[in-house]
Structure 1
Amino acid sequence: MGVVVPFEEKQPVEPSIDRLVGLVTDDMERVNRLILSKAGSDVALIPEVANHLISSGGKRLRPMLTLAAAQMCGYAGDGHVKLATSVEFMHTATLLHDDVVDESDMRRGKLAARKLWGNQASVLVGDFLLGQAFRMMVEVGNLQALGILSDAASVIAEGEVMQLAAAKNMATTEDEYLAVIRAKTAALFSAAAEVGPVVAGRAREEQAAFRSYGTNLGLAFQLIDDALDYGGSSAKLGKNVGDDFREGKITLPVVLAYRRGSDEDRAFWSRCLQEADIRDGDLARAVDLMRRHRALEDTVERARHYGSIARDALAPFRESEHKRALLEVVEFCVARAH
């Protein structure tokens, strides 16, 4: 009679961006040096405000996408380092501006710059970083890359205005909300990924593939952020859980819960978000309504859908460490919801 030997059940490996980080380590060191150099100024307040956010522990995912895409496409110059730094400066500038518009108190677990130096300094330092980003793009000398990133800057600003118009508007539809995050978040992910093959001089279909990858990764990333604001932790979010609720933001979980709720539920959402009349226990009730109407689960499901599109965009490329790393980024972004 045979002996049955029990095998230890393998624990599933948590998705991570470790492979990506490993592949771009050397280039990211150059990016980090350039960030410190270009954030410098004789005006003391500028590096003080800029470095507060720059050194606060963000993953720098967007510039890593630029570096990995350029490497994957065989780029041998150093223009991708300046483009990656430009991408990070654009992102940092939008965070500084966002916190002013949203009146946020926290950013990446620290007091927002606007709470320490005021709204005016935050906006103006954000403008300085945008100016430095465009200087570096011009230095690279690739007109197409400059066009892609400058278009993204314009689209991001449009997305901010669209979000402002949608704020506290309970009539916002899912399509309208997706248009906001496509502009506000996905545009920079898209541009960050696309300029890699562009600076490497690759064919237009490859540029389009990376553009699709970045766009859909960005959509998935933002939708998971939306879900985490009601069902996550401050550590994962880098801001306080419930900030979107307290700021009256209409995000996809709200849109779904509002549409699917009773008249009483909709009156609750209108009181909290439209009238900004938030009372003790309202955040817990909001989370309960979202769970009852599967708003959080369906938001995560939509994120998975966009993640699948991002993965499919890279399907035509041959297998490589870079491709595996970029596919793992998608898994990592979506897995944050767990």
Structure 2
Amino acid sequence: MSTRGRLVVLVITVLVLSGVAVGSVMHASARADQRDHQQDGGPPVSAGPVTLGVSGVSGDSASSGGPGDPARRLVFRNMLWGPHRDELVSVPAGEPAGARTASGVRCLRFYAAGGEGICLQRVSGVLQDTYRAVVLDADLHERRHFALTGIPTRARVSPSGHMMAWTVFVSGDSYAGGVFSTRTSILDTRTWTLDQSLEDYQVIKDGAQYRSADINFWGVTFADDDHFYATLGTGGRTYLVRGDVRARSVTTVRENVECPSLSPDGTRLAFKKRIPDAPADAPWHEYVLDLTTMRETALAEQRSVDDQAVWLDDHTVAYALAGDYGSDLWTVPADGNGRPTQLAMAALAPVVVVVS
């Protein structure tokens, strides 16, 4: 081919590729416009002040009043398509389906107590996204942030607000094969001491020290600033463990317990349990465990719940299920009676706070 011919081919190729690029940009722009347009059919969402409650008020206190208490508000991740998607929003606890006040702070996972919050965020990058854990004060201002090694999945704060925990999914562990692997970290915001991985803690299983390359932890729930419960996964089984931060140790309590959530009065744990012969894509049922009698109570929700439940008060637990916008929040009585009730559409990661 002559030099002139090669030049013609080059020019045509550049024009074609330019057209494709322009078309792709226009298509992406149209999708972005659609994404940023407020979706019909949901509650109105508008920007405004959002608070994580009164500093020093514990999670127990936040959950003690009735749902109609004007000082109680529900804060959660907004899943409605529009300019405020993924932002933390606030509604009166007694009107969970009402108009939402959007904070401008975006989180994938979130929890708060004692006027402090933890927000697990995605940070968009040129080549790939990264993730970080952001410690928030009561007015959602960043106090400090920490890089995450994987995709956020769980977050919790102790009743005082001093201790925080998060779990991420990670890849690259040689032992994991096709099974997921996790990293769970615990942070003391008084000293900014960070335990990067609970896998560094001593494990006491069946009364003896236990070691294994396949240990994973997830789903921390705090009793106080020194003690917590969590899930230990090893050998293809899961265990409820009781943890001691100062001793840097965990002790197994019971098998087949995942994503525990301690009740405001500290006497019970809501958790998900694998049911024999259940479908592989829907294996869990929600239970409540009495920590005094060790008696399990199956809750009235019959659908599989892949979430760490949240106690709205001493009698009600909330959890996320798949919905039209990603997820909806549902509630069910903690005593095994009643039936599931939708709390809020297009919502995730709820917490009850008390505002002054």
Which range, TM-score by smaller chain? under 0.3
* Structure (1 or 2) with the greater strand fraction: 2
State the TM-score, normalized to the length of structure 2.
0.26
State the TM-score, normalized to the length of structure 1.
0.27
* Structure (1 or 2) with the greater helix fraction: 1
State the structure with more CA Rg.
2
